[in-house]
Every structure is written in C-alpha cells, then in structure tokens.
Amino acid sequence: MAGGLPKSSESNTSTYAGLGALLMLPSWVMIGFFLVLPVGLMLVYSFLTKEFRGGVIWEFSLAAYDQFFFDRGLFGDDPPVIEWTYIKIFWRSIWQAGLATFFCLIIGFPTAWFIATRTGANKSIWLFLITIPYWVNLLIRTISMKFLIRDNGPLNEWLLSLGIISDPIHMINTNFAVQLGLFYSYLPFMVLPIYASVERYNFAFSEAAADLYASRLTTLRHIILPFVKPGIIAGCILVFVPSLGAFLAPDLLGGAKNFMIGSLIEEQFKGNAGNWPFGAAVSMILLSMVLVVLTFYARQQSKGGVR
Amino acid sequence: MKKLLKLGASALALTIAASAVHAEGKLSIYHWFEYMPQELLDKFAAEYDVEVTMDTFDSNEAMLTALKAGKMGSYDVTVPGDYMVEIMAGEGLLDTFEPSELSNFGNISPQWVDVSFDPGRHSSIPYQWGTTSFAVNRDVYSGDIQTLAIVFDPPAELQGKINVLDSQGEVIALASIYLGIPQCTSDRDQLRALNDLLQSAKPHWASFGSDTAKDVLVSGDAAVGMIWNGFSAKAREEGANIEYAFPKEGYVVWMDNVVLLKDAPNRDNALKFMNFLLEPENAAAITNYAQYTAGVEGVEGFLDESVKSAPELNPPAGGKGQFIMACSQDVQAVYDKIWTDLKK
C-alpha cells in the first residue's frame, strides 16, 4: 500500500516521505470505526420504520422526525399541531447544562487563577487535589452526594445543630440537587483548560497595563480575558456538552421525575416504548445541536488565530 | 503489511480454537441483577462440571432489546417475566422442549404448569413469583393502607413523599386496577381517565426509581414506595418500619421464568440447569436469597424461618392479583404517549 504512493520529492522531511498515509491509517480506522460507522448507522436508523417492541423494518419513513415535531393527540388521529413535549425536554436539558456551565465558570475561573499563580511544588499539589475525587466512579460520587443532602443527612443535621436552621432544608429531588450534581461532576473540566491558559499568561502584561493607568477591571477585561478566552471556551464546552446528555444527576438527585434528553433516548431503547428510529432521531437532533456549538467554538478559535 | 496480515490471521485462528473448546461444559446465563445467589451457581458448576457465566439486566424490556440487537446465540437461558415470555415466544426467540426432558418437571406447583403465557410449559419453567404494590412507613402514617389511593390520591401526610417504580408497565397496570378498568383497554374514555389520574397524581410524587426503590424507604427519603414484595421485605429487614400493602382494589402478580433461548450454544447444559432449578432445595435457596416465592413443590423444609413468616410473601386469602398484560401495538402507542406526557 505504502509502496504505491508517489514519492514526494518536495518534502523536506524525507525520512517520513510516502509513509504519511500509512501513519495516518490508525487514526482513519479509529475515526471510521468509532465515529463514522456508528453515527452513520444512527442516521440510517432514524429514517427507518419502527418495529413493534424494538427493532427496525427496512423501509424509509419520516415517522420518527414527525413524532418529534408534530402532536396528533393522545390517540394519534387529531389534526397535527406543533409538539412541545420534546422541545420542552430539550429546553430543560439545555437550561440545566447552561446553568451548570455558568456556575462552573464562576467558581472555576478564580480556582484556576489561584492554582496557576502558585509557585513550584505548590502548583502540583493543588492540581493533584483537584483530580483526587475523580479517582472514584461518578456513580458512587453522585450517590454519596445524595446521602449528604437528604432531609436527615449530615449537612442538614450539622446546620440544625448549629442552630442556623430550625427545619431541615429540603434539597433532594429538586432542581437545586441536579445543579449541585452537575456542578460537582464537571468542575475540573472547567478548571483544567482555564488553568492551562492562565499558566501561559505573562504577568508583565498586567504590570504594563497598570503602568499605563489601566484599572484592575480594565486590565481584566482587555488584557487577561482575551488571552485566556480559548481556555474559557474550551472549559465551557467540556462542561456544557456532557451536562446536556447527563442522566445520573437528574435520575439520582432529581428523582427522575422529568425526562432529560439522555433518559428520553434511553427510554426508546430500554423502556416499554421500544421505538428505535425515534431514539436514533432524537440522538441525531442532539448531535446536530452539539455540532452547532462546536462550530461556533471553531470559528472563535480561528478568529483568535488571526489576532 | 504482510506482518500485519499474518498477525491478523493468527489472531483469527486463536479465536476459532478458543470457541472450539467449549463444545461441552459451558453455560451462559442472562439474568436479572441481584436475583441469583453465587453459591447456587457454584454448586451447579461443581455438580455438572460446567463453566457458568452470567450477565445481568435491569428490566424485561432492556433484556429484549439486548437480545434483538444481536445477543441471540450467545446465551442459553434468560429469565423473563410472565408477559415477556409470551412476547419473546411471539418474536420467535424461544426454543421448545418436552416436559419429559426434565426429570424434575413434576415438581412444578400444579397452578404454575398450565399458565396463560406458556400453556403446558414447553419453553419455560417457573423461577420465582411475587407481587407488586407499595409499602408505607408506619412512623409517618398510621391510617388504613389497603387501598391504591395511597399512591394515586394520597392523604395530605403522604403527599410529596412517594416514590414510584420507574417502569411504565407496573405504574399503568396499578393505575388501571385502581380505576377498575381492564388492562390494555382501547376504550378512549377509559384511556383519558387513566391519563388524567396519572397527571393528577404526579404532583404528589417525590421521585421515580426502580433500583432505588428499597433504599429510599430505608433512608426515609420516601414514606411510601411502590415496590416488589421481596424488595419490601428486604427493606424491612434493613430497619425500615414499613408495612407492605395488599390493596383491596387489587395488585400486580408476576412470575419470572427461566426460558430456553433459540440457538442456545449449550442446549443440553441449559436443560440440566433448568432441571437443577426445579430441585426443591435449589429453588428454596433462591427464595431465601431474593425473598420471593418459588413455583416448586416441597420447598418448605428448606426455607429460612424469617422468609416463611414474612408478611410480604403471604397475600391475604381472596387477594386480587392480576398479571400484567402485553398490549396490542395501538394501545401500547397510547401508553407510550401517556408515559412521555407524564415525564415531559
């Protein structure tokens, strides 16, 4: 295979000349096998006819997308109106993921700044401390969180014993609990990329700005933030995208009362619904949305490159 | 490249060799979580010199999906609930056997031989049976609990403290029983009433959860929990002051069954295993572990005292249990819509 390729005489790295395609092979196989193939399969399935109790019939059908966008009443024979159910489920997931991203940013940025401005060994210790909780499985950590915040859990008992509250605060099975779970799960994904950006920041810029009578706020807005922006955007994406499909926190801490995108998809495959094409269609719609977010990121990045 | 090809070829040869070894002496089980004591598997493995492997699932529907998505041919037996046996047979996923192939077939309790979901038992044997209703924390509520109104129209003390199973089939079946309408009804007024009932009940529910059904009762997060009888007995043993209800309107009865799968790679061992599970001593070991009830005669002598006397395992005389029915595609579509609307 490699021998068949024309030898590139222009290349100044003659050592690897002609080997390029061969060296790329593993990545192409990986991308093909783990990305293109499954996503392609999903795309195809979303346009097939559903088989009762799971499975597909190999006939083209738009029924899955129709179900997503049009409501035909409880018995399926009313005139179609816009279906808000799934849009609502999407909106709930987006809202919660957005909120989690916001909180992670508010807490994560100062944290990353703090760590990046430590010296020598201290820095490593702080980074190490950030990663420690992640040696434990996410499921275990989420369940532990549930134990901590329940009505008669340690947090409430502590507050009660201090006399700060007179009745336990009800936190379990609320949106607050879901937020707490998402925030706790994904905080390091915000801290680490921002840390990487801040670490490269040359503090002489801040000094120069101060010499030119820039206030601290101005320095932050016009000097620091533009510099660490790639880290912030990367952090936001790393928190937002997994939060969007999260189901552990909503199920365990939120009580699974309302579908999130993740649990809606799961229900199509594992629940009574057994509607594979619809599950595939919802996945495709989610995928398109994530793609839009990532395109936005890529454009931001390329703008940064021009600067 | 040639080297790679050679490597690939030898890897392929290795796999073939490995799969050729297992002609005899293996058994592959697809089973519910927390439903089979390891000691019993070890006992079977030792007695018959068979290497046993087991994977687990957490709902009938999840099991069906996995089998339909390509797991057929890799398992010998699985353990579907009553209605799922009928569905799997309809989908052509089950193999059949003659009762004469199982020497212990006669041990099956007479009431469980000619069952509606497998008349005459040609694909399945009973595993365990039990009921689904709900348990109430007696520290929180001391009133009458023998009615499904506790879940679907709860008294003020219990509102907002209810966990229901995250399972469409069981929630809709119990709601239908409460309303006194037949399961799988296609009557539109009845279906609307069902929808209205669930919509009006949901604000009183704190959470949906199946695998957490026991824990929320033990921890006190929920004062009422829709639950399976054996799970409720375990919660009581773990210290929750709860009482399991047999509501007057009725409750769900279910039976799990060991079925022989089509294309089972080890059919002989599968039949040996099914026969093994019909031994009263072995059936009792499962009952002692899972706290449900065996469908086999002669287990009494092997049961733990606490299991024998557990109130959860002894429905009152005249209790009205119903099996969950497998509905037609049209009705199932309405059920799916009701369920999605409930959780939107």
pLDDT digits (tens, 9 = 90+) for B59-71: 898 899 999 988 8
Q: Say whether pLDDT at B343 is over 80.
A: yes
Contact B344 A275 (CB under 8 A): no
Q: Say whether pLDDT at B124 is over 50.
A: yes
As a whole number, mean pLDDT of residues B37-61 equals 93
As a whole number, mean pLDDT of residues A205-219 equals 88
Task: Show Cβ contacts of residue A283 under 8 Å, excluding neighbours closer than 6 positions.
Answer: A42, A46, A265
- In chain B, what residues touch A1 (CB-CB under 8 Å)? 1
B23-128+255-308 classified as CATH 3.40.190.10: yes
Q: What is the 3-state secondary structure (H, E, C) of chain A?
A: CCCCCCCCCCCCCHHHCCCHHHHHHHHHHHHHHHHHHHHHHHHHHHCEEECCCCCEEEEECCHHHHHHHEECCCCCCCCCEECCHHHHHHHHHHHHHHHHHHHHHHHHHHHHHHHHCCCHHHHHHHHHHHHHHHHCCHHHHHHHHHHHHCCCCHHHHHHHHHCCCCCCCCCCCCHHHHHHHHHHHHHHHHHHHHHHHHHHCCCHHHHHHHHCCCCHHHHHHHHHHHHHHHHHHHHHHHHHHHHHHCCHHHHHHCCCCCCCHHHHHHHHHHCCCCCHHHHHHHHHHHHHHHHHHHHHHHHHHHHHHHC
The DSSP code sequence of B269-288 is: HHHHHHHHHTSHHHHHHHHH
pLDDT band at A17 (very low <50, low <70, confident <90, very high): low
Of A54, A172, A264, the CB nearest to B221: A172
Contact B65 A75 (CB under 8 A): no
How far A14 CA sits from the closest chain B CA (Å)? 21
Provide the residue count of chain B: 344
A30: exposed, middle or buried (Cβ count in 10 Å: 0-12, 13-18, 19+) = exposed
Distance CA A93, CA B280 (A): 51
Residue A273 contacts B where some CB pair is shorter than 8 Å = yes
CATH 3.40.190.10 range(s) for chain B read 23-128+255-308, 130-253+316-342
- In chain B, what residues touch A85 (CB-CB under 8 Å)? 340-341, 344
Q: Which of A23, A53, A88 to mutate to test the interface with B (most CBs of B within 10 A)?
A: A53
Alpha-carbon dihedral B257, B261, B264, B268, rounded to 10 degrees: 40
Query: What is the residue-averaged pLDDT of chain B?
Result: 90
Of B65, B192, B207, the CB nearest to A255: B207
Q: What does the pLDDT read at residue A304?
A: 56
Residue B297 contacts A where some CB pair is shorter than 8 Å = no
Task: Show Cβ contacts of residue A180 under 8 Å, excluding neighbours closer than 6 positions.
Answer: A145, A149, A171, A253
Contact A74 B337 (CB under 8 A): yes
Q: Say whether pLDDT at B231 is over 60.
A: yes
Contact B330, B87 (CB under 8 A): no
Which A-chain residues 199-258 have CB contacts (< 8 A) with chain B? 251-252, 255-258
Q: What does the pLDDT read at residue A119?
A: 86
What chain A holds in terms of domains, given with CATH numbers, is 29-82 (no CATH), 87-306 (1.10.3720.10)
A136: exposed, middle or buried (Cβ count in 10 Å: 0-12, 13-18, 19+) = exposed
Q: What does the pLDDT read at residue B122?
A: 95
How far B133 CA sits from the closest chain A CA (Å)? 19
Distance CA A208, CA B6 (A): 64
Contact A173, A253 (CB under 8 A): yes
Of A88, A172, A271, the CB nearest to B168: A271
Q: Is B137 helix (H, G, I), strand (E, B) or coil?
A: strand
Q: Say whether pLDDT at B20 is over 80.
A: no
Contact B1 A1 (CB under 8 A): yes
Q: Which of A89, A173, A269, A276 to mutate to test the interface with B (most CBs of B within 10 A)?
A: A173
Q: Which of A41, A147, A272, A275 to mutate to test the interface with B (most CBs of B within 10 A)?
A: A272
Contact B91 A53 (CB under 8 A): yes
Of B61, B91, B207, the CB nearest to A272: B61
Give whole-number Cα distances, A52 to B92, B333, B336, in Å. Answer: 14, 9, 12
Contact B169, B312 (CB under 8 A): no
Contact A270 B168 (CB under 8 A): no
Q: Say whether pLDDT at B211 is over 90.
A: no
Distance CA A121, CA A37 (A): 45
Dump pLDDT digits (tens) for A77-128: 889 999 999 999 999 999 999 999 999 999 999 999 999 999 888 999 999 9
Dump pLDDT digits (tens) for A237-294: 999 999 988 888 888 898 888 889 988 998 898 888 889 999 999 999 999 988 988 8
Q: What does the pLDDT read at residue A77?
A: 87
How far A26 CA sits from the closest chain B CA (Å)? 13
Distance CA A79, CA A76 (A): 9
Q: What does the pLDDT read at residue B70?
A: 86
Q: A256 to chain B: nearest residue by CA?
A: B208
Which A-chain residues 41-80 have CB contacts (< 8 A) with chain B? 52-55, 74-76
Query: What is the residue-averaged pLDDT of chain A?
Result: 87
In this structure, which amino acid lies at residue B260?
L
Q: What does the pLDDT read at residue B12?
A: 43
- In chain A, what residues touch B68 (CB-CB under 8 Å)? 54-55
- The ipTM (two decimal places) reads 0.82
- In chain B, what residues touch A264 (CB-CB under 8 Å)? 340
Distance CA A89, CA A70 (A): 15
Contact B207 A52 (CB under 8 A): no
Contact A52 B329 (CB under 8 A): yes
Which B-chain residues 159-178 have CB contacts (< 8 A) with chain A? 163, 166, 168-169
As a whole number, mean pLDDT of residues B191-204 equals 97
How far A202 CA sits from the closest chain B CA (Å)? 49
Q: Say whether pLDDT at B163 is over 60.
A: yes
Q: A264 to chain B: nearest residue by CA?
A: B340
How far B320 CA sits from the closest chain A CA (Å)? 25
- In chain A, what residues touch B207 (CB-CB under 8 Å)? 173, 255-257
Q: What does the pLDDT read at residue A16?
A: 65
Contact B188 A75 (CB under 8 A): yes
Q: Which of A75, A86, A143, A253 to mutate to test the interface with B (most CBs of B within 10 A)?
A: A75
Q: Say whether pLDDT at A212 is over 80.
A: yes
Residue A150 contacts B where some CB pair is shorter than 8 Å = yes
Q: What does the pLDDT read at residue B18?
A: 40
CATH number of B130-253+316-342: 3.40.190.10
Q: What does the pLDDT read at residue B9?
A: 44
In this structure, which amino acid lies at residue B102?
L
How far A174 CA sits from the closest chain B CA (Å)? 9
Q: Say whether pLDDT at A134 is over 90.
A: no
Q: Say whether pLDDT at B13 is over 70.
A: no
Max distance between CA atoms of chain A, in angstroms, equals 81
Contact B242, B196 (CB under 8 A): no
